[in-house]
């Protein structure tokens, strides 16, 4: 696996002589080529290539119209209505008890965007020095506004991810082979709808701004929605996207000092913990029954998608809003990569993912060595979703320090 | 089908050419405030969408605003309602807000009332005007708080309590609530089965003690028989097992509120722990003690204004008629923008309103719901907005 470094495709001296818009275009092309070089497995490249074309090059997520596609998965109805999966039945019972109403959140909470004491994210979470070295000076108020934009961008991606999860949950409910799994799936559809509701409402009413979907997030959701294999949908949505989202929600919950957002995230986290658990239960036995070739393909797909997600969420939408034409796109990327809050996000996202991969049997010695090489193995020893409740997860977050040692 | 594909390819081509030319798509999907609570509480038209009979003399009405979303209600707040025609306005607690543009209120019929019989006559599809949510008799749930709440309600005083209790059960999972709820009989008890079911589902976090004056066949679950007097309240609070550190919430007839205050004070409840909502109109007091026109002297900053207030007017209405620049906002006693300090004379206030017990005790008032019982002198403390 090679580290993505699009700028290395063009010499620095050559780039410096070019006008900024051209440099930015080359930077974007360099990223496309970098992506192609990053994916090592043919099967993974084949499964992601059409979605990458639609998301990265044609940018369908930003065309301003609904994305339409023909779903190709196989659905099932079991007329014998069996009790066939006790763990899912228990999860269904827990999900029913755990329902909450988005309208009941304390929406009256004032979120004054002009209040210097409003800290949606820590003000020192961005590496502002990089901006200054590139000739962009921001005063304290502008830094606060930029931090708010980063929070709005993250929450916007949560919103788009949740809409993807809503559609995926509906698909997964159709194709999951367990009857108890279908009952549980119905609750997850409701959960995802509620998450879309509360994130959209928070963005519309409180932050007053919503960003477009990130191209890389579009690629992953597009690929999962079109994949015909039910276990790949589960693996992609329930384990990868939900697992990474759970990590991202958790870190934002830990960082934010805004009480309404904290409450909202707390409820969402408790739902998400069930969703990931569902994926683990569904896949644990299934993966054992696959041929070694099929298992390896899923293992490799998971590893490569995990790295793509880690390396490619660079908040370019915020760059385009704030700094397009003022400084190079590559400098913005440098700032994101070196900012403590963003580093923490990228790292901690994996703390919820790795134990689940271990639990479902996608951590063979070969791929374990790959994870070790890219510095993610340290997360594999944590508790998996089947061993953790949402309450325990929130309690652990409340006890942990704001910055982890690895991100400092 | 083919047309659809052609349009998609055309969009793809435009998008690709923009990308190649270094013209990114707009970063923002939308900006600016979308929906949500308006900054100023305004009067809206609303229609009745559901009418439910709760008891022989009480109904619930679900009202839908025809003018967009209402602000999110805090548990315990009320709306004021004006019927078409010249019926006076009345305040009704919000039992639930199932959607941003919908509120559910409960109305108990008062035989010789000026408004409640007309409210009972309302049918689905009929319209009225409402303003709100207003009021400071609220509990803002805090997910991290572990608190004991002692709610004491008499008759229709249950309406704000229902919203508060249901919010606490969901949003304050470590707190416990005991409700002592007095009525004439089981059949006259609003939301009896709703409260009983909530208690059954609450894992012991909600305890409901019904106190019925008349014992009937439906009274099997009643905690005790009698009126909510001091002796009954002493016994019921003992049963509830609430410490003096609990927050007490009171709403009901004046006599019940007075008994409850006496009992709570005797048990060591601090004034700051007792919150109450009053319903009622001050006309009787005005009629018996101060009928007639009175003179008001009002200090706004360094200016002194003097004007007369007719028996049918509030202090604010009198000031507005005399072009006196007194601050105001909701005009319903719900926002506090028209707060005054009463220096001389006697005023009574339309209830409910947002004055706290401490504010009442220290001579604060609200010009928009204040009626003069005698000549008076008041001062506008500082220019301020709604709280």
Answer yes or no: is pLDDT of A268 > 50.
yes
CA dihedral of A368, A374, A375, A379, whole degrees rounded to 10: -50
- The pLDDT of residue A40: 72
Q: Considering CB atoms only, which of A22, A103, A324 is closest to B24?
A: A324
Q: Rounded to a whole number, what is the distance in Å from the CA of A316 to chain B's nearest CA?
A: 8
Residue B200 contacts A, CB cutoff 8 Å: no
Domain boundaries of chain B, sorted by first residue: 43-133, 148-277, 283-380
Segment A16-36 mean pLDDT: 76
Least confident of A169-178, B142-151, B320-329: B320-329
Comparing CA positions, the residue from B235, B364, B373, B220 lying closest to residue B295 is B373
- Could you give the CA distance from residue A341 to residue A251 in angstroms, rounded to a whole number? 9
ipTM entry: 0.75
Measure the CA dihedral A28/A33/A36/A37, to 10°. Answer: -130
- Which of A31-35, A89-93, A229-233, A247-251 is the least confident region? A31-35
Kindly tell me if the per-residue pLDDT of B253 is higher than 50: yes
Among A49, A68, A74, which residue's Cα sits nearest to residue A229?
A74
Of the candidates A101, A208, A263, which has its C-beta nearest B31's C-beta?
A208
CA atoms A253, A255, A260, A261: torsion sign:
negative
> Which residue of chain A is at minimal alpha-carbon distance from B24?
A320
pLDDT of residue A46: 82
Superfamily of domain B283-380: Beta-grasp domain (3.10.20.30)
Classify residue A68 as exposed, middle or buried by CB count within 10 Å of its CB (0-12, 13-18, 19+).
Answer: exposed
- Most B-contacting residue of A27, A29, A208, A217 (CB-CB within 10 A), to test interface: A208
Does residue A18 form part of some domain? no
Chain segment A153-162, per-residue pLDDT in tens: 999 999 999 9
Tracing tokens 């919430």 back to the chain, one arrives at B249
User: Residue A333: which residues within 8 A CB-CB, separation 6 or more?
Assistant: A314
Is residue B28 within 8 Å of residue A211, measured between CB atoms? yes
Q: Is A107 on the interface with B (CB under 8 A)?
A: yes
**Which of the pair, B147 or B84, is modelled with greater confidence?**
B147
Give the integer Cα–Cα distance in Å for A166 and A96: 17
Whether A59 sits inside 8 A of B19 (CB atoms) is yes
What confidence score (pLDDT) does residue A29 get?
76
- In terms of phi and psi (left: phi > 0; alpha: psi -120 to 50; beta: otherwise), the region of B31 is beta
pLDDT, chain A, mean? 83
To the nearest whole Å, the CA of B205 is away from the closest chain A CA by 15
Give the domain CATH number at A49: 1.10.620.20
Residue B246: per-residue pLDDT: 93
β-pairing, B148-154 with B376-380? Answer: unpaired
Which span out of A2-6, A143-147, B318-322 was modeled with the highest average pLDDT?
Answer: A143-147
Q: What is the pLDDT of residue B53?
A: 93
Say whether A190 sits in a helix, a strand or coil.
helix
C-alpha to C-alpha distance for B20 and A364, rounded to whole angstroms:
42
Q: Which residue has the higher pLDDT, A375 or B16?
A: B16
A10 within domain boundaries: no
pLDDT of residue A392 exceeding 70: no
Higher-confidence residue: B198 or A242? Answer: B198
Residues 6 or more apart whose CB falls under 8 angstroms from that of A42 comprise none
Mutation target among B7, B22, B97, B334 for the A interface, most CBs of A within 10 A: B22
Q: Which of A388-392, B91-95, B321-325, B368-372 has the lowest mean pLDDT?
A: A388-392
Let me know: does A48 contact A57? Beta carbons within 8 Å. no
Q: What pLDDT, on the 0 to 100 scale, is given for residue B148? A: 94
Query: Pick from B8, B24, B140: which is nearest to A320 by CB?
Result: B24
**Can you read off the two tokens belonging to residue B9?**
């390819």
- Cα–Cα distance between A358 and A324 in angstroms, integer? 42
State what percent of residues in chain B have pLDDT above 70. Answer: 86
Pull the structure tokens for residue A350. Answer: 């994996």
Of B37 and B72, more confident: B72
Mean of pLDDT values over B345-353: 81
Q: Is the pLDDT of residue A402 over 50?
A: no
**Shortest alpha-carbon distance between residue A60 and chain B (Å):** 7
Which of A47-51, A247-251, B172-176 bottoms out in mean pLDDT, i.e. has the lowest?
A247-251
In a domain, A115, yes or no: yes
Higher pLDDT: A273 or A187? It is A187
Binding-face residues of B in 82-101 toward A, CB within 8 A = 97-100
**Integer distance in angstroms from the first to the last C-alpha of chain B?**
57
Helix (H, G, I), strand (E, B) or coil at A129: helix
pLDDT at A188 over 90: yes
- 8 Å CB contact between A298 and A304: no
Contact B34 A324 (CB under 8 A): no
Residues of chain A contacting B34 with CB distance shorter than 8 Å: 204-205, 208
Place A3 in a pLDDT band, splitting at 50, 70 and 90. very low
| Phi-psi category of residue A78: left, alpha or beta, with phi > 0 → left and psi -120 to 50 → alpha | beta
Instruction: Quote the number of domains for chain A.
Output: 1
d(CA A300, CA B110): 73
> What average pLDDT does this structure show over B109-121?
84
Cβ-Cβ contacts under 8 Å, B167 against chain A: 104
Q: Mind listing the pLDDT tens digit for each residue in A49-60?
A: 899 889 988 889
Closest by alpha carbon to B34, among A16, A85, A202, A320? Answer: A202
- At B383 the pLDDT is 45
Question: 3-state class of B99 per DSSP?
Answer: strand
The pLDDT of residue B95: 92
Euclidean distance between the first and the last CA atom of chain A, given in angstroms as a whole number: 26
Mean pLDDT of A161-167: 93
What is the chain A residue with the closest CA to B35?
Answer: A205
Q: What percent of chain A has pLDDT over 70?
A: 88
Decide if pLDDT at A397 tops 80: no
CA distance B261 to B352: 18
pLDDT at B222 over 80: no
| Confidence tier at B14 by pLDDT (50, 70, 90) | confident
What's the whole-number mean pLDDT along residues B108-123?
85
Confidence of residue A93 (pLDDT cuts 50, 70, 90): very high
Helices (H), A203-241: 215-226, 230-233
Q: Does B10 touch chain A (CB under 8 A)?
A: no
- The reply to whether A391 touches chain B by the CB within 8 Å rule is no
Q: What is the mean pLDDT of residues B213-223?
A: 70
Contact flag A63-B30 (C-beta cutoff 8 Å)? no
Residues of B in contact with A101 (CB under 8 A): 170
What CATH architecture applies to the domain B43-133?
Answer: Beta Barrel (2.40)
Contact yes or no for A208 and B141 at CB 8 A: no
Q: Does A88 fall in a domain?
A: yes
Give residue B46's Cα distance to chain centre: 17
pLDDT digits (tens, 9 = 90+) for B260-296: 999 999 999 988 788 887 665 555 555 556 667 899 9
User: Could you give the 3-state DSSP secondary structure of residue B341?
Assistant: strand
Task: State the greatest distance between any 2 C-alpha atoms of chain B, in Å, as a whole number.
Answer: 84
Confidence of residue B144 (pLDDT cuts 50, 70, 90): confident
pLDDT band of A246, cuts 50, 70, 90: confident
| pLDDT above 70 (res A1) | no
Residue A394, domain member (yes or no): yes
Residues 6+ apart with CB under 8 A from A64: none
Its CATH class, for the domain covering B148-277, is: alpha beta
Residue A239 pLDDT exceeds 50 = yes
Nearest CA in chain B to A321: B27
* pLDDT for B287: 57
What are A75-78's contacts with CB under 8 Å, separation 24+? A75/A174, A75/A175, A76/A174, A76/A175, A76/A177, A78/A179
pLDDT at A304: 83
How far apart CA B206 and CA B199 sit, in angstroms, is 5
- Which residue shows structure tokens 């009418």? B51
Q: What is the pLDDT of residue A174?
A: 95
| pLDDT interval class at A12 (50, 70, 90) | low
Q: What is the pLDDT of residues A316-358, one digit of tens each?
A: 899 988 988 888 988 999 999 888 877 777 777 777 788 888 8
User: With bands split at pLDDT 50, 70 and 90, how would you rate the model's confidence at A5?
Assistant: very low
Under 8 Å CB-to-CB from B281, ≥6 apart: which residues?
A: B88, B350, B351
Q: What residues of chain B lie within 8 A of the CB of A60, using their CB? A: 11-12, 15
Q: What confidence score (pLDDT) does residue A2 get? A: 42
Average pLDDT, chain B: 83
Instruction: Please report residues of A whose CB lies closer than 8 A to that of B72.
Output: 103, 107-108
Q: Highest mean pLDDT: which of A177-191, A241-255, B68-82, B216-230?
A: A177-191
User: What tokens does B45 get?
Assistant: 């038209």
Check if the beta carbon of residue B79 is closer than 8 Å to that of residue B134.
yes
Say which of B20, B28, B143 has its CB closest to residue A210: B28
Domain that holds residue A229: 39-399
Residue the block writes with tokens 């005991």: B178
Q: Is A63 on the interface with B (CB under 8 A)?
A: yes
| Residues contacting B304, CB < 8 A, separation 6+ | B297, B298
- Substitution target in A30, A70, A106 with the highest count of B β-carbons within 10 Å is A106
User: Residue B96: left (phi > 0), alpha (psi -120 to 50), or beta?
Assistant: beta
Dihedral of alpha carbons A8, A10, A15, A20, sign: negative
pLDDT reported for residue A64: 84
CB distance from B1 to chain A under 8 Å?
no
Q: 10 Å Cβ neighbour count for B221?
A: 13
Distance CA A357, CA A304 (A): 13
Average pLDDT over residues A87-108: 89
Q: Which residues of A touch B8 (CB under 8 A)?
A: 68
């Amino acid at each position: 696996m090679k580290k993505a470094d699009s700028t290395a495709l063009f010499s620095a001296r050559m780039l410096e002589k070019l006008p900024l818009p051209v440099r930015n275009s080359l930077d974007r092309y360099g990223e496309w080529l970098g992506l192609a070089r990053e994916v090592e497995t043919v099967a993974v490249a084949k499964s992601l290539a059409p979605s990458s074309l639609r998301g990265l090059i044609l940018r369908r997520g930003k065309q301003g119209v609904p994305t339409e596609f023909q779903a190709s998965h196989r659905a099932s109805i079991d007329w014998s209505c069996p009790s066939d999966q006790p763990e899912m039945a228990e999860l269904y019972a827990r999900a029913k008890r755990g329902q909450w109403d988005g309208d009941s959140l304390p929406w009256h909470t004032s979120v004054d965007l002009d209040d210097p004491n409003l800290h949606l994210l820590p003000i020192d979470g961005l590496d502002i020095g990089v901006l200054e070295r590139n000739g962009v000076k921001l005063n304290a108020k502008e830094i606060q506004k930029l931090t708010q934009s980063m929070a709005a961008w993250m929450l916007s991606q949560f919103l788009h991810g949740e809409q993807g999860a809503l559609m995926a949950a509906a698909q997964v409910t159709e194709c999951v082979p367990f009857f108890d799994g279908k009952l549980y799936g119905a609750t997850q559809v409701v959960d995802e709808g509620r998450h879309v509701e509360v994130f959209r409402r928070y963005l519309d009413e409180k932050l007053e701004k919503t960003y477009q979907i990130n191209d890389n997030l579009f690629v992953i959701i597009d690929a999962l929605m079109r994949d015909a294999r039910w276990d790949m949908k589960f693996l992609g949505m329930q384990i990868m996207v939900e697992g990474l989202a759970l990590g991202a929600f958790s870190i934002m919950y830990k960082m934010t000092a805004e009480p309404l957002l904290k409450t909202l995230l707390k409820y969402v986290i408790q739902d998400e913990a069930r969703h990931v658990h569902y994926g683990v239960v569904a896949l644990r036995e299934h993966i054992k029954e696959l041929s070694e070739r099929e298992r390896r393909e899923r293992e490799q797909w998971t590893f490569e998608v995990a790295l793509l997600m880690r390396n490619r969420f660079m908040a370019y939408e915020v760059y385009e809003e704030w700094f397009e034409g003022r400084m190079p796109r590559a400098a913005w990327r440098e700032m994101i990569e070196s900012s403590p809050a963003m580093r923490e996000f990228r790292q901690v996202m994996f703390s919820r993912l790795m134990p689940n991969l271990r639990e479902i049997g996608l951590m063979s010695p070969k791929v374990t060595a790959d994870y070790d090489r890219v510095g993610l193995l340290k997360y594999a020893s944590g508790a998996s979703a089947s061993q953790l409740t949402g309450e325990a997860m929130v309690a652990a977050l409340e006890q942990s320090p704001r910055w982890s040692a690895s991100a400092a | 089908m083919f047309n659809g594909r052609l349009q998609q390819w055309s969009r793809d081509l435009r998008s690709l050419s923009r990308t190649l030319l270094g013209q990114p798509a707009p970063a923002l999907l939308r900006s600016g405030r979308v929906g949500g609570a308006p900054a100023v509480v305004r009067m809206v038209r609303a229609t009745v969408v559901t009418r439910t009979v709760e008891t022989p003399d009480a109904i619930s009405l679900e009202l839908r605003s025809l003018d967009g979303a209402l602000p999110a209600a805090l548990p315990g707040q009320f709306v004021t309602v004006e019927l078409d025609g010249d019926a006076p306005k009345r305040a009704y607690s919000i039992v639930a807000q199932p959607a941003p543009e919908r509120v559910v209120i409960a109305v108990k019929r008062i035989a010789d009332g000026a408004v409640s019989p007309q409210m009972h006559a309302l049918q689905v599809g009929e319209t009225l005007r409402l303003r709100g949510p207003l009021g400071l008799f609220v509990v803002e749930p805090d997910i991290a708080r572990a608190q004991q709440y002692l709610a004491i309600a008499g008759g229709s005083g249950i309406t704000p309590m229902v919203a508060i209790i249901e919010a606490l059960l969901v949003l304050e999972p470590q707190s416990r609530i005991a409700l002592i709820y007095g009525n004439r009989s089981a059949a006259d008890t609003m939301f009896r089965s709703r409260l009983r079911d909530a208690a059954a589902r609450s894992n012991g976090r909600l305890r409901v003690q019904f106190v019925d004056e008349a014992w009937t066949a439906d009274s099997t679950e009643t905690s005790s028989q009698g009126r909510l007097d001091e002796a009954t309240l002493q016994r019921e609070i003992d049963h509830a097992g609430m410490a003096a550190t609990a927050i007490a919430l009171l709403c009901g007839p004046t006599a019940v509120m007075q008994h409850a205050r006496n009992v709570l004070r005797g048990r060591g409840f601090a004034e700051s722990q007792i919150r109450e909502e009053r319903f009622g109109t001050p006309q009787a007091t005005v009629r018996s003690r101060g009928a007639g026109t009175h003179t008001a002297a009002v200090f706004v900053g360094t200016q002194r204004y003097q004007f007369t207030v007719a028996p049918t007017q509030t202090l604010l209405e009198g000031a507005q008629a005399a072009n006196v620049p007194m601050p105001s906002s909701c005009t319903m006693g719900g926002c506090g923008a028209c707060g005054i300090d009463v220096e001389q004379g006697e005023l009574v206030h339309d209830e409910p309103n947002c004055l706290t017990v401490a504010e009442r005790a220290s001579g604060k008032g609200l010009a928009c719901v204040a009626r003069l019982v005698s000549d008076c002198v008041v001062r506008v403390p500082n220019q301020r907005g709604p709280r």
